Structure 1
Amino acid sequence: MKIPNKFIAIITMLLCVNIVSVSTTYAEGLDDPAPEIVPTQPNGQSVLFDNMHAQTAGQADWVIDGAFSDFAEGIASRGYYVTELRKTTPFTWQDLQNYDVFIIPEANIPFKKSEQDAMIAYVENGGSIFFISDHYNADRNKNRWDSSEVMNGYRRGAYTDPTKGMSVSEKNSNAMQGIASTDWLSDNFGIRFRYNALGDIKTTAVVNAQDTFNITTGVSTVTMHAGSTLAITNPQQAKGIVHMPNGLTTTHKWGPSVDQGVYHGGGIAEGAYAAIAKLGAGKAAFIGDSSPVEDATPKYRNEETGKIKKTYDGFTDADNGTLLLNMVDWLANQEDYQSFMETNISRDTVSPQLAIEEPLHSTEPQQEPWSNPLPTYRWYEATSFAAGSFGSSELPIAEPLYRLLHNAIMANHTTETVTVKIEGLQPNQMITDITLGAYITGGQQIAKVQNINGSWPTSYGYSTPFSMLANAQGVATKQINMQFNPNITGQANLRLRQNKNNVVTQAITISVAKQREAIQDKVAN
């Protein structure tokens, strides 16, 4: 497969550029042009990221110019042209055929039967797919389908009715038309995402490179932060390349897991964390967690709430990035064999499975969705999405910027002043229910905050709630006096809350000696 013809001219023009170039015009919905990353030294191959199946729902931001940008730019640095798939109608084989690798980051809207068929045709004819899932019940858009179910092709406990529990409007939505329960992933790729939900785990159970087509070269440690594993159902087609440590117990499950979380005590029996498969002329790869792929640069707002998202640097953790990029290289390299039986690599055995994992007999441990969506939010209608989210036509509402100005070292024997400053408000806007406190590790409160009437409280704790009024420039400031516990020295934290939500948490040092340092402007992350 080669780079689509319409991009050849772009690449030719950029051959003399010495850095990876990212398009600066970003789309905000499926009708807009997709972002692209053009490599400076093209290898003649291309990678397509799915962005049609709620990849930006909830706190997810799995797009190439957002919280998957480190991964996408890493792919481009190896010479691949990278872009996203955006359509308002179901994708077809023709949409995929000009790309060497199709990456599906944690889909939360089920694939239509026609899309499953398109992917099968694509792989059988030489294309490759990378399935990136997550733990069970990671239902980011609260539509009762999570990524493991979308990838597998059926809902847990709802095989006979993929719309189980949905309202009439949900059932009749375009998103749910053409959806049929299938075991298509296992039937075609010999693998199935499990329902388990494991917590924060670091694994060194990495298969040797000579037994993984060199995919694990340079990989010794891989991390998981709430994820799942994969059951091998056909070893002729699928093989695990990274596993969980042995000896896992229920203490290793993800805290909010809805069932036992750990199914077979870790190890090979628990299933592969990362795996590969062969189908026809093409290939597939799988990983049970989006955390190793993400970075801390989300682009969009939460489509339900409109809040700013918080994502984390998983791609640079341990050897995650090396594993992921090696998997893409392997996927893009076409080979002649049709199954792993034709190669010299060792083959796995069929993974043991619990009765609750069988498609027709699977169970739903709790009623879905895991929480009720806001009345204004409809996962299947982009017109209901909050401003600033992918799919919304409205710009995000600017959020106030809270700052704390204070001495670098705070004395514990006299009154210290902290200035609270809020910027980005509307002129004359009032912000209410603000509280300020100080604490040490473990949560012990260590400061008395002077009351508005000038009196002092008798105990250490947060201030009484106060309000702040913005001036004509949209800036509000207020000086707050504090007295620290004379028995406390060393590291502590100031914390500012608004409506009981933490808006600034800032490290300070408490000292006996009075040291006046330059005022520091501390900004909330």
Structure 2
Amino acid sequence: MKKGFFIFIILIYISPLSAYRFLFDLTKHEDAGNADWVIDDDWPYPYPDNPVADTAWHGAISSWGYELYMMGHEVVTLPPWDSITYGNPEHELDLMYFDVFIIPEPQNPFSENEKQAILEFVANGGGLFLVADHNSSDRDQDGWDSPRVFNAVSPTLPDTGLLYGFGVDTIFGIHFNVTGEPSNYIDDAPDSNVNDLPSDSIIFGEIGRVYAISYHAGTVMTLYPSYNPSVTAHVWKTDMPHDTTYVMFATAEYGRGRVAAIGDSSPADDGTARPGNQHIYDGWREAGCNNRVIFLNASLWLAKSSSPINERNDNSLKINMESDYDIFSVTGRKVFTGKLNAFYHIDLKSGIYLLKSRENPKKTARVIILK
């Protein structure tokens, strides 16, 4: 006879223990060439579900995903065959179901529909993390590198006079330097030219203080507060003044959402990638730098905007055994769909799960299963 188990709703409203959902993009050939910018080679949900170390997941940014998972958050990959959408409740990996969308060095441009989806997601409260690389980092030889992909992320706008003025420049106020612009391919490590104001949530964040970061072949950013007054620099190239040029880490707000941007992917590299890849090193834990701290500080800062998925907690989720729900593991893997009276008969390990109403996906609760 199967043992029964109980479900307890332990969290309905926002609290410091809130679990956020992070979606890592893999639709833009982020694993091209020597790159392997994935949290795991199992998509969309990393495996195993309960890793005991970051080495359990295979990818150059597995440590990033693993550390978020260890904080109680969910990490998911948007697979190569999928698409970027916003506002489609039938799409399980729609941006509306996530707090933060992370794009690590994309190699292909976004379609107009994808651009619009990303912008609507941010405008409505989502967090967006842009990780670029140096100028001409075109790993699949299609004419696009990550700086140009990001510089062209917005729908077509009137000519602003900027060299690549049709993207994040005019929307978020952030421009990744490319051909003909200074410091588009730099090494700077350790770089301790950081903002020293304690009010800076990226430098003085939840995970700790950032004293220095590293760039190993990256590009700087130029900021345009005339387009977005909220755009802010947090790290500058060594010996450069604290203004809007030679920026190495930046953030901005757009609508009710937030954006973070960095011009090099190597600080996120944890030194692990697919077998046979020899062009890797551990930038995540690089001595004399606080790369992991700035990435995690920024990840949590992005998640804590007034995001769509957080709005689900504005009202309590009333449990109805006859209603339909989705239930997810802490890694984001869907483990059940249906009515809760049927859920009582399936076999799951004890632990914490996310319960989501199918009738209103913005309403969720965390549950404990005790067998």
Task: Give the TM-score band, short-chain normalised.
Answer: 0.5 to 0.7
Report the AA paired with residue 194 of structure 1: N
- Contact 2:195–2:203 (CA under 8 A) maintained in structure 1: no
For the aligned residues, what is the CA RMSD? Answer: 2.7
Correspondence for 2:277: 308
**Counterpart-to-counterpart distance in 1, 2:256 and 2:242:** 31
1:213: Cα distance to partner?
2.8
1:138: Cα distance to partner?
0.7
1:236 is aligned, of 212, 229, 233, to 229
- Contact 1:137–1:146 (CA under 8 A) maintained in structure 2: yes
Report the AA paired with residue 95 of structure 2: L
1:323 is aligned, of 294, 299, 315, to 294
Taking structure 1 as reference, are residues 82 and 316 closer, same or farther at Cα in structure 2, changes over 3 Å only?
A: same
1:86: Cα distance to partner?
1.6
**Counterpart-to-counterpart distance in 1, 2:277 and 2:253:** 40
1:245 is aligned, of 225, 238, 248, to 238
User: Is residue 212 from structure 1 mapped to residue 183 from structure 2 by the alignment?
Assistant: no
Report the AA paired with residue 21 of structure 2: S
2:261 is aligned, of 270, 274, 286, to 286
Report the AA paired with residue 285 of structure 2: T
User: Is residue 72 from structure 1 mapped to residue 65 from structure 2 by the alignment?
Assistant: yes
Correspondence for 2:56: none
- Contact 2:222–2:247 (CA under 8 A) maintained in structure 1: yes
**Counterpart-to-counterpart distance in 1, 2:244 and 2:172:** 19
Correspondence for 1:297: 272
Report the AA paired with residue 81 of structure 1: E
**Counterpart-to-counterpart distance in 2, 1:42 and 1:52:** 31
Report the AA paired with residue 220 of structure 1: Y
Correspondence for 1:203: 191
Correspondence for 1:119: 118
**Counterpart-to-counterpart distance in 1, 2:301 and 2:281:** 26
1:201: Cα distance to partner?
3.0
2:81 is aligned, of 64, 68, 88, to 88
Unpaired segments of 5 or more residues in structure 2? 1-6, 11-15, 41-58, 89-93, 154-158, 179-183, 308-371
**Counterpart-to-counterpart distance in 2, 1:216 and 1:133:** 23
**Counterpart-to-counterpart distance in 1, 2:211 and 2:149:** 30
**Counterpart-to-counterpart distance in 2, 1:191 and 1:152:** 8
Larger gyration radius, structure 1 or structure 2: 1
Report the AA paired with residue 326 of structure 1: N
- Contact 2:125–2:305 (CA under 8 A) maintained in structure 1: yes
Q: Deviations over 1:312-351 (max 9, x none)?
A: 1001111000111000110011259xxxxxxxxxxxxxxx
Correspondence for 1:129: 128
Correspondence for 1:188: 171
- Contact 1:223–1:320 (CA under 8 A) maintained in structure 2: yes
Report the AA paired with residue 329 of structure 1: L
Correspondence for 1:408: none
1:216: Cα distance to partner?
3.3
**Counterpart-to-counterpart distance in 2, 1:269 and 1:90:** 34
1:68: Cα distance to partner?
0.5
Question: Could you say what secondary structure the match of 1:283 adopts?
Answer: strand
1:53 is aligned, of 25, 28, 35, to 28
Q: Deviations over 1:195-241 (max 9, x none)?
A: 21112432111112534235434110111101011111125131111
Using the aligned pairs only, state the percent identity.
32
Correspondence for 1:460: none
**Counterpart-to-counterpart distance in 2, 1:148 and 1:232:** 14
Q: Which has the higher contact order (CA 8 A, sep 6+)?
A: 2
Taking structure 1 as reference, are residues 182 and 87 closer, same or farther at Cα in structure 2, changes over 3 Å only?
A: farther
**Counterpart-to-counterpart distance in 2, 1:223 and 1:46:** 27
Question: Could you say what secondary structure the match of 1:286 adopts?
Answer: strand
Report the AA paired with residue 60 of structure 2: A
Taking structure 1 as reference, are residues 99 and 140 closer, same or farther at Cα in structure 2, changes over 3 Å only?
A: same
- Contact 2:177–2:219 (CA under 8 A) maintained in structure 1: yes
Question: Could you say what secondary structure the match of 1:111 adopts?
Answer: coil
**Counterpart-to-counterpart distance in 1, 2:140 and 2:243:** 32
Correspondence for 1:514: none
Unpaired segments of 5 or more residues in structure 1? 1-11, 16-40, 155-159, 161-180, 248-265, 301-306, 337-525
- Contact 1:206–1:216 (CA under 8 A) maintained in structure 2: no
Taking structure 1 as reference, are residues 205 and 82 closer, same or farther at Cα in structure 2, changes over 3 Å only?
A: same
How does 1:72-471 map onto structure 2 within 5 Å?
Answer: 72-86=65-79, 88=81, 90-93=83-86, 94=88, 95-153=94-152, 183-195=166-178, 196-213=184-201, 215-217=203-205, 218-234=209-225, 236-246=229-239, 268=243, 270-299=245-274, 308-317=277-286, 318-335=289-306
Report the AA paired with residue 216 of structure 2: H
Correspondence for 1:168: none
